[in-house]
Amino acid sequence: MPTMGKRLRQERKRLRLSQAELAAIGGVKANAQGHYELGIRLPRADYLASVYEVGVDVLYVVLGAKKQDPTQPLILRLNQNINAIASAVEEIGIWIDQRGSNDVYARVQRQLEVLHENSDFIAEAMADLIVRCAPEEDVDS
């Protein structure tokens, strides 16, 4: 069975994040992330709570047990799509900035920030809506 550090690394790779990116999300330095993954140090609860927010399966990392949340893959896909859109908007903003229109670029930048701030909320809300709209299973059978 993989160690906690190896499971954390698996989760980071599953989310396609670098050590530096996950470290920043967890509020630690990249070398701390490396130490967690090597099993030299154990992450603190505040780190685990932060990385949970971006989709790390903390139950799996800590205990080695996979949680059974049918909406998790959908939430992650929605987040990836929203972030891809945000990246595209950012590229357009950069292009506009190179053309010298700072006013338009500032508006595009603000919209990009709003999109990033709300991507988790949007994905979770959409997944919740899908679950609520799904037909109820017959509990008697």
Q: Per-residue pLDDT tens for 46-85?
A: 999 999 989 898 988 998 877 666 666 667 777 777 777 7
pLDDT of residue 30: 92
> Of 38, 63, 88, which marks where a domain is finished?
63
Please indicate, yes or no, if residue 138 is contained in any of the structural domains: no
76, 126: one domain? yes
| Domain presence at residue 89 | yes
For 93-113, the pLDDT digits (tens) are 777 776 766 666 677 777 777
* Residue 51, domain extent: 4-63
Q: Residue 23 to residues 15, 57, 73: CA-CA distances in angstroms? A: 13, 16, 22
Domain boundary residue, one of 63, 97, 112: 63
Instruction: Identify whether residues 119 and 87 lie together within a single domain.
Output: yes
Listed residue (131, 12, 121, 23) closest to 69, CA to CA: 131
Q: Is residue 140 part of a domain?
A: no
Which residue did the predictor score with more confidence, 87 or 41?
41
In this prediction, residue 42 has a pLDDT band, given cuts at 50, 70 and 90, of very high
pLDDT, tens digit (0-9, with 9 covering 90-100), for 16-40: 999 999 999 999 999 999 999 999 9
CATH number, domain with residue 23 = 1.10.260.40
For the stretch 112-139, pLDDT in tens is 777 776 676 777 777 776 776 666 654 4
Q: What is the pLDDT of residue 101?
A: 63
From 63, 83, 103, give the residue that closes a domain.
Answer: 63
Q: Can you give the C-alpha Rg of the chain in angstroms?
A: 19
Contact 51, 22 (CB under 8 A): yes
Count: domains in the chain: 2
Q: How far apart are CA 73 and CA 123, in angstroms?
A: 11
